[in-house]
């Protein structure tokens, strides 16, 4: 077929392109066809997002002053019920659509009272897609409305009503109960995590003081035979939230600075606490939605903090002896803060809608916070001086850190490749195809070098436990040999831009960075130290999905020429059961080898269990919840012992294995 024939065929195809080629998806079909567009994904994140969409409706009722309790129940089989004591979704006839308002809310995308300014002044649900989306992605959903003394019920399947709205009884309460079963043909993961839901409900309780949120898990019972249950309630709101997040740190002011105010229908609440750490921990919300990328409300917060504290320091001559300028970030080092605004019509930027774009919010937050900060400084001169001393220390450390960074990075340029002598590099120069193993100890590093595929796998042995960066000032980390080696091996550098430290990843040499340590308590501690370093100084690599943790086996069970590797107690028991053919007396020929360290494996064993891409298990490091992640790192690696001991006791998993 010649070129002209191709053109003629294309013309004929274009001639047939008319209205009949346009597919209009009706109702909720679009949601089922492209679920990721509406709830982000169909993995465990999307699964939990369904619950949040239903809770949003209940919280809108709370914000409007009509609901003080929300209960979330995980049933056997992983169906969910969300109950609230709000006004109940209206059930009367919708004039335009000629069907019950309940059915409209449950089956029409973007339907609901939150689009009527008289019904809800602000709404968290505006960010999402509403309960109709949950209905579309559920194999079964039941809406039960308690309103006007009657109980109204309607049931649905994949978004379509299977019954009309029926009155099934009388009631003396008000509220909406929604029960749904996620559709197994849509979701890859169907098991709800109690901890994930608990973390979100705790967060919502702090963001909505006076609202009680209850989580019940009917899949599991406690020692008393009762269902697992947690109750979340906060009287102090964001002030308590900041205290909770700073549990592992030592405060330098007696209590958090807590500010509430409003202007032009925008409500502002801010809580901030200075502590003895060396990092800024800032979390921002708009209508209960976590704005991970910040936005105009965060800009207003930072503007107020820098303006007011700098003015105070200048007026009192505290900065007069410094030989370099104070930067805006110096005022925020060692500060944990939460900014929560309620905006009637929020505008979000970017693909993930994680950044607030309303320009008017910057000035509102800056003005409200600025006035309160002035009062704080005037009324608390002793605490104000402690904060200013912390700012001066931060500025001095930042100046020293810049010099230390320049020394390390300049040395790399002068010595050619600048790669660490211990690094056994791979032959591939393609970062996408290359991976590096950060290995605990020289001995295991030697075994890994023998067992690897040198075409695409590099090995960097780390000696002992690296520096705990949670307790160290920044310039100290560049003096640590192991951390310097990680920087230079990866090819990344830290730079300053607009008063912020950013990680330059243009020359990143590997797109898989694998932490490989012993499967014991010491190994876990080293993993945590390395993760703390990545989290505090190379978060970009975690966000981009480049950080992994290797999973070496705990046991090798063998009988004759047969053998199995086992990663936990259950697998070990199963292997013994298979080789003994279920007979407890038939075990003298079964050998159990317990790997207490990577060095106990030979090169072949390490390759086939932990390094071979076709057989290994790698756990990708992700930040599912920034608030909880930050709190856990500061608790595990900070100065406060009691919260760390409590956390370890609650989460210990080695006690039985290592005895």
CA-nearest of 421, 441, 405 to 517 is: 441
Q: 263 with 322, same domain?
A: yes
* Residue 471: inside a domain: yes
pTM equals 0.75
What does residue 562 show for φ and ψ, rounded to 5 degrees? -85, 145
183/249 same-domain check: no
- Show which of 184, 215, 232 is a domain's final residue: 232
Whether residue 286 is found in the same domain as residue 210? no
pLDDT reported for residue 127: 39
Catalytic residue among 148, 155, 230, 522: 522
Q: Do 335 and 228 share a structural domain?
A: no
pLDDT at position 11, please?
Answer: 44
Question: Which residues, other chains included, contact 148 with Cβ-Cβ below 8 Å and sequence gap of 6+?
Answer: 88
End residue of a domain, out of 396, 431, 459: 396
Q: In the prediction, which pLDDT does 350 show?
A: 64
Residues 29, 280, 520, 639: which is the catalytic one? 520
* Catalytic (active site) residue 522: yes
pLDDT along the chain (659 residues), means of 10: 49 44 57 87 93 92 92 97 95 84 85 52 55 94 96 96 95 97 96 94 95 97 93 96 89 95 95 91 92 93 96 94 88 94 87 82 97 95 94 89 75 56 92 95 90 96 84 84 91 79 90 91 85 90 93 91 90 90 79 86 92 92 72 69 64 41
CATH number at 265 reads: 3.30.230.10
Specify whether 456 is located in the same domain as 325: no
Q: What is the pLDDT of residue 659?
A: 25
Radius of gyration of the chain (CA): 29
**Closest Cα partner for 371 from 274, 262, 296?**
262
Is 330:310 a contact under the CB 8 Å cutoff? no
Burial (CB count <10 Å: 0-12, 13-18, 19+), residue 427: exposed
- CATH number of the domain to which 119 belongs: 3.30.565.10
* Residue 384 shares a structural domain with residue 412: no
For residue 570, is it within any domain?
A: no
What are the backbone angles phi and psi of residue 385, rounded to the nearest 5°? -65, -40
N-term to C-term CA, the chain: 76
The angle formed by the CA atoms of residues 369, 370 and 375, to the nearest 5 degrees, is: 100
Say how far apart CA 1 and CA 9 lie, in whole Å. Answer: 11
pLDDT at 643: 66
Helix, strand or coil for residue 546? coil
222 and 242 share one domain: no
Separation of alpha carbons 309 and 331, rounded Å: 7
One domain, residues 246 and 137: no
- Do 165 and 48 lie in one domain? The reply is yes
- 392 and 492 together in one domain: no
The count of structural domains within the chain is: 3
Q: Are residues 313 and 438 in the same domain?
A: no
Residue 645's pLDDT is what? 66
Q: Which of 71, 372, 425, 440 is catalytic?
A: 440
- Domain enclosing residue 260, as ranges: 238-396
**Any idea what the CATH number is for the domain that residue 493 is in?**
3.40.50.670
Residue 280 belongs to a domain: yes
- What pLDDT was estimated at residue 598? 87
- Is-catalytic flag, 518? yes
Largest CA distance in the chain: 87
The catalytic position among 56, 333, 425, 518 is 518
């Amino acid at each position: 077929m010649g070129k002209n024939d191709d053109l003629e065929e294309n013309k004929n195809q274009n001639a047939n392109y008319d209205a009949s080629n346009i597919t209009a998806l009706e109702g909720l079909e679009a949601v089922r066809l492209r679920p990721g567009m509406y709830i982000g994904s169909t993995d465990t994140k999307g699964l939990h997002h369904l619950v949040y969409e239903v809770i949003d409706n209940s919280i809108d009722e709370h914000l409007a002053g009509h609901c003080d309790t929300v209960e979330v129940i995980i049933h056997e089989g992983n169906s969910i019920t969300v109950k609230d004591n709000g006004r109940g979704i209206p059930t009367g006839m919708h004039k335009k659509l000629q069907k019950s308002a309940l059915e409209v809310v449950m089956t029409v995308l973007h339907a609901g009272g939150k689009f009527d300014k008289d019904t809800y002044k602000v709404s968290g649900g505006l960010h999402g897609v509403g309960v109709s989306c949950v209905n579309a992605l559920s194999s079964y959903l039941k809406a039960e409305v308690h309103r006007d003394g009657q109980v109204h019920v309607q049931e649905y399947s994949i978004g379509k009503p299977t019954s009309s709205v029926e009155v099934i009884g009388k009631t003396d309460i008000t509220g909406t109960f929604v029960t749904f079963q996620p559709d197994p043909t849509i979701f890859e993961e169907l098991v709800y995590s109690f901890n994930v839901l608990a973390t979100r409900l705790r967060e919502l309780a702090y963001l909505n003081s006076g609202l009680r949120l209850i989580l019940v898990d009917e899949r599991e019972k406690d020692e008393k035979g009762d269902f697992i249950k947690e109750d979340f309630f906060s009287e102090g709101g964001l002030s308590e939230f900041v205290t909770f997040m700073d549990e592992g740190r030592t405060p330098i002011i007696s209590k958090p600075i807590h500010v509430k105010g409003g202007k032009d229908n925008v409500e502002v609440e801010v809580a901030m606490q200075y502590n003895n750490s060396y990092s800024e921990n800032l979390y921002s919300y708009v209508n209960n939605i976590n704005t991970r990328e910040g936005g105009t409300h965060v800009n207003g917060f930072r503007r107020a903090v820098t303006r007011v504290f700098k003015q105070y320091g200048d007026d009192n001559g505290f900065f007069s002896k410094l030989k370099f300028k104070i930067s805006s970030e110096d005022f925020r080092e060692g500060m944990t803060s939460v900014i929560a605004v309620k905006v009637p019509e929020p505008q979000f930027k970017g693909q993930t809608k994680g950044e607030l774009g309303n320009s008017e919010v910057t000035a509102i937050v800056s003005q409200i916070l600025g006035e309160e900060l002035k009062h704080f400084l005037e009324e608390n001169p002793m605490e104000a001086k402690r904060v200013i001393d912390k700012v001066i220390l931060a500025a001095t450390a930042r100046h020293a850190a810049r010099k230390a960074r320049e020394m390390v990075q300049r040395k790399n340029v002068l010595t050619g490749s600048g790669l660490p002598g211990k690094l056994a590099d791979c032959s591939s120069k393609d970062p996408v195809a290359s991976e590096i193993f950060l290995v605990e100890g020289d001995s295991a590093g030697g075994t890994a070098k023998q067992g690897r595929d040198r075409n695409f796998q590099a090995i960097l042995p780390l000696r002992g436990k690296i520096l705990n960066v949670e307790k160290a000032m920044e310039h100290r980390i560049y003096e640590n040999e192991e951390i310097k080696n990680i920087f230079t091996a990866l090819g990344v550098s830290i730079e300053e831009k607009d008063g912020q430290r950013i990680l330059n990843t243009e020359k990143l040499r590997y797109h898989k960075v694998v932490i490989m340590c012993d499967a014991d308590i010491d190994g876990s501690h080293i993993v945590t130290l390395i993760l703390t370093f990545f989290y505090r100084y190379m978060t970009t690599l975690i966000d981009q999905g480049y950080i992994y943790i290797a999973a070496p086996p705990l046991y090798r069970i063998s009988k004759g020429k047969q053998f199995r590797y086992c990663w936990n107690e259950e697998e070990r028991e199963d292997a013994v059961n298979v080789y003994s053919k279920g007979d407890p007396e038939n075990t003298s020929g079964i050998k159990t080898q317990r790997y207490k360290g990577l060095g106990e494996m030979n090169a072949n064993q390490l390759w086939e269990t932990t390094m071979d891409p076709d057989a290994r298990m790698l756990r990708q490091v992700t930040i599912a919840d920034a608030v909880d992640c930050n709190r856990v790192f500061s608790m595990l690696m900070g100065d406060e012992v009691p919260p760390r001991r409590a956390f370890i006791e609650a989460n210990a998993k080695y006690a039985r294995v290592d005895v």
